[in-house]
Structure 1
């Protein structure tokens, strides 16, 4: 992964590792040219602090067949054409969904004959979470508070279930955005849903804002 933005890189590294990939990250084009040879696939941000990403792409492609997916905010048709002409096997414009990235990686690796990574075995999340009188049933997608039904939207349910399933974890904003909204990246969207949930549950301490990081389920029991 060639990515100069530390926050974006950390989120992607964690996600890719959860899906069984071994990930090495570098921040510059120069570092990428010294590290790509051992990779099965290169995720290349075209906005780099030292070298133009297109030039890095050309050099990597000229040296061998390692697959390259260009990942960039440059989204015009001309940008895509230049990226593909520089040697990229695929071109993904920011912002994008994590699931789309995984699908594109699998497609590129399939075309070049690299076996897909097998996801690690993980402990399944409980189908029912019951904390402090709040019952969240993932099977029926129903929420009850002290035995009384709470009407929530689909996105509100997903957001609440993720937080309540991991009460000891501060879940980063970007992770919540990816898991609940996919391609949508908006601070206002998640804040609006958190505010709505607090109102429907009758108290603000059900969901705690951890400034600069994300959110955490606030009650125990």
Structure 2
């Protein structure tokens, strides 16, 4: 990643998103810290960068196409490009199979899947203009068909994550499909897109019950966001390497 690269991290006012913003800024990026709540976003940005030299708060609700379009228009006006996009915004609603309703599933998909598509669609013209664009979709090891179907003992409570894991599996498929589409388009072929699993990380989403810190959880995300030109695209990774789909 070149010094001064422009990075957008969605859902970044806390947790893994906030830590990702911090680590990207440490590596020389100018980071746009996306937050649905503008006040919380501003406070989060100040907590990392009081002077606002490297981390800038931006209002972004990934479920509101007007909000997404407004930010894309602002980036077009102020920067004319985007170098890194981290689709981190996500929600988790714990529900047993019997309690997983259409409404619960729809709400999760609206953020974790449709929101990522909305941001990708709006930011693609800006990513196209970058010399080394990188996209990271923040997924979950629990979205792996291979590991889940094998009966692997994955961290967390499997009895209440039916809709969440389905949404992350859908996000993984988007990663594969975007990568294939980009490779066929000369204007987009230079974009690298991958899915990242932070592992079971202590955040507000799980009541801070997990054993991993956000610093550990952000490692795979930041690695994929700063890949060299010879790095992979269209894969699913944690900090240790490639995961099975």
TM-score bucket (shorter structure): 0.3 to 0.5
TM-score, normalization by structure 2 = 0.31
Q: TM-score, normalised by structure 1?
A: 0.34
Higher relative contact order (CA 8 A, sep 6+): 2
Higher Rg: 1
